[in-house]
Structure 1
C-alpha cells in the first residue's frame, strides 16, 4: 500500500535530515611558501635571477617571498656572509616566516655555506641550493683578483675551513647541480658536497644553470620538499 505524506511533513523531515547531516569539512588553508633568497655569483647582481624568479611567480610564489639580493662581489665571502645574515633576518621579520630557502649560483654558494656553518644560518634555512658552486675551488679563480677570488682558489685557507668536518651541517636540506660543460668551475667535481643531493645536469654552460627550465623544476621540488631524496656522496674533488 502506498502512503502519501503531507507536503508539510515532508518538508519537516527534509529539514531535520539537513541538520543531522555532518557539515562538509572546509578545506585547510594553504600556508605560504618559505621566502626564497637568491644569492648571485662573482661579478653579477640580483638580476641574474630574473628568469627563475618569474617562473616562481608564475607557479604561485607571492612576489614578497622572492628576494633577488645584490651584494658587492669584490668583498670577501666572510663579509658577504655577514651581510647575508642581516638580509635573511630582515626577510624573516618582514614576512613572519620561520625559515627561508636559499638558492645560489656560482660563488654565492661559498658565502651562504659560511653563513650556514659558522653564523648559525642552519637554524634559519630550510633548503639550500647550489647551482654550479665552486664548493671545493676552481682553477679559473687564479685569473681574477680580490679577496673573493683568492678564497675561490683550490686549497685556499677559506675553503679548507669551510670544508673541514661536516660539509652539510644542521637540518638544512642541501642540493647541488653541476654540468660537465660548465666552462668556469674547474674541475666540475668541485660542486658536489658530501651529504647533499648532487645532480648532474645536461650539457649546460656555467651561466645557463640559472635559466634552464628543467633545472628550475628540480629546484622548485627540492625547496618545496615535494619528494624524499637520498643524499649521494660525490666523487672526491680535485684539490
Structure 2
C-alpha cells in the first residue's frame, strides 16, 4: 500500500522535531561537582562542638552533612601525635565520601598538627585548601601559662615550631590561607599567624573565639575553600 506524500512529509517533520528536542542545548553547563569535604580541627582545650556555628553555615550554603567533619581529639598530647590521628581521620572521610581531597579549616593550635600532617605525613596530596584562624604558627607567649606537651610546642622558639617552620612554610600543592585579628589576646604577637606563601588576611577587631563565628570571616573562608 502506498503512503500518501502528505503523510510521509508529516512523519518526516515529526521525526525531525524529535531529533531537535533530543539534541544538546548549546551552552549547557555540566552539573556542579560536589564540594570537597571539610575537616575542622579545633584548638587547645576545646572540642569539635566549637565549630557548630561555622559548620551550620556551610550546611546552609549547600555542603552535605557527610562533608562536614567536626573532629575532636585530645589537646594535651603532642601535635605530632595529633597529626598522625588526623591522617587517619582524613583517610576515613575520603573513604566515606568518595572524594579525592579534603579542605582543612583550623582554629588556634589546630593549625599546628594539620601543618605537621601536610609537611611530614604526605597530607599535601590530600588537602586542597588549608585554613588557619588565629593559629600560633610561630608561637604565642600565652603558651607559657599552660602545661603539657602541646603547650610546650606552642611556645616561641620551641623545637617543634623550629622544625615545622624550617624551609618552606607552605609546602606542597595545597593552598594555604590565614586570618588574624589585631584584638586577639591569645596569640601574641599578632604576627605569629601569617605564613610565608599563604594568603594572609587581617580581620576586624575580633576576639580569638570570634574568629570561628564571625560572619565576614566565614564568607571569606567559604570563598577560599569553595
TM-score bracket for this pair, using the shorter chain length: over 0.9
How far apart in 1 are the matches of 2:94 and 2:106?
18
How far apart in 2 are the matches of 1:29 and 1:78?
40
Q: How far is the alpha carbon of 1:196 from its aligned partner?
A: 0.2
Structure-1 residue corresponding to 2:78: 76
Q: How far is the alpha carbon of 1:216 from its aligned partner?
A: 0.6
Q: In the alignment, is residue 18 of structure 1 matched against residue 20 of structure 2?
A: no
Structure-2 residue corresponding to 1:115: 117
For these two proteins, the number of residue pairs brought into alignment is 219
Q: How far is the alpha carbon of 1:30 from its aligned partner?
A: 2.2
How far apart in 1 are the matches of 2:216 and 2:146?
31
Within a 5 Å distance, the mapping from 1:152-231 to structure 2 comes to 152-224=154-226
Q: In the alignment, is residue 148 of structure 1 matched against residue 150 of structure 2?
A: yes
Deviation digits for residues 124-173 of structure 1 (CA, Å, limit 9, x no counterpart): 10000000000000000000000000000000000000000000000000
How far apart in 1 are the matches of 2:223 and 2:6?
57
Q: How far is the alpha carbon of 1:183 from its aligned partner?
A: 0.8
How far apart in 2 are the matches of 1:184 and 1:199?
17
Q: How far is the alpha carbon of 1:13 from its aligned partner?
A: 5.6
Unaligned runs of 5+ in 2: none
Within a 5 Å distance, the mapping from 1:47-126 to structure 2 comes to 47-126=49-128
Unaligned runs of 5+ in 1: 1-5, 225-239
Q: How far is the alpha carbon of 1:49 from its aligned partner?
A: 0.3
Q: How far is the alpha carbon of 1:12 from its aligned partner?
A: 3.9
How far apart in 1 are the matches of 2:117 and 2:136?
16
How far apart in 2 are the matches of 1:101 and 1:192?
19
